[in-house]
Amino acid sequence: MSYKDPSSNPSIELDPLHNGATVRRAFLLEAILNLCSFPLLTHPHIVLPYILKHPDQLNTSTLLFARLFGGLIIGGLTPALLAGYPNTRNAIESRKTVYILLGLGEVVLIPLLLLEGLKSGKQQALTLRATMGAVACLAPPLLWRIYVLFWNKGLLGRYREVKQD
């Protein structure tokens, strides 16, 4: 059995009609927007009072989970988007997986947020404005991912191997 070194991949040539430019821009935009979560990671005690219904109930556990959530966004999702940005073989091949991963997260988070919005009184953790704002931030990217993954896969980019003599 022989092992393959990724650097030994044959050169690729981009499909001029499906070069992935649109999705690459979307990846970069989303990665940059994800960086707006940085204060959630570094200063959750400043951010959380703006979104929590009962900020007086802020405790160390809440701060920890806010930091963990921020860490997932900054340390997990953002690098995945940046890894899919270049027009290399590995990046082009990773784009579908990254969109599925991000879309599944949105499919889980949106119903949870909507259920949160239906709560009232002491049961409600987030303000209605924060809940609807979060849904408004998650729904358009999810619709875009569904469109790309199911109706316009060419936006992810295509390539062909260039045979070397």
**If 0-12 CB within 10 Å is exposed, 13-18 middle and 19+ buried, where does residue 88 land?**
middle
Asked whether residue 55 is assigned to any structural domain, the reply reads: yes
Asked whether residue 6 is assigned to any structural domain, the reply reads: no
Asked whether residue 9 is assigned to any structural domain, the reply reads: no
Helix (H, G, I), strand (E, B) or coil at 88: coil
Q: What's the rounded mean pLDDT across residues 4-29?
A: 77
pLDDT value for 67? 93
Count of domains observed in the chain: 1
pLDDT value for 159? 77
- For residue 149, is pLDDT > 90? yes
Asked whether residue 10 is assigned to any structural domain, the reply reads: no
pLDDT value for 96? 93
pLDDT value for 123? 84
Asked whether residue 25 is assigned to any structural domain, the reply reads: yes
Does the pTM surpass 0.85? The reply is no
Asked whether residue 28 is assigned to any structural domain, the reply reads: yes
Dihedral over alpha carbons 95, 96, 98, 100 (to 10 degrees): 160
Asked whether residue 97 is assigned to any structural domain, the reply reads: yes
Asked whether residue 59 is assigned to any structural domain, the reply reads: yes
- For residue 13, is pLDDT > 80? no
Q: What is the domain range of residue 114?
A: 17-158
What H or E segment, with its residue span, contains residue 13? strand 12-14
pLDDT value for 2? 65
Q: Are 101 and 72 in contact (CB under 8 A)?
A: no
pLDDT value for 18? 76
Q: What's the rounded mean pLDDT across residues 65-79?
A: 91
pLDDT value for 151? 95
Q: How would you classify the pairing of strands 159-161 and 12-14? A: antiparallel
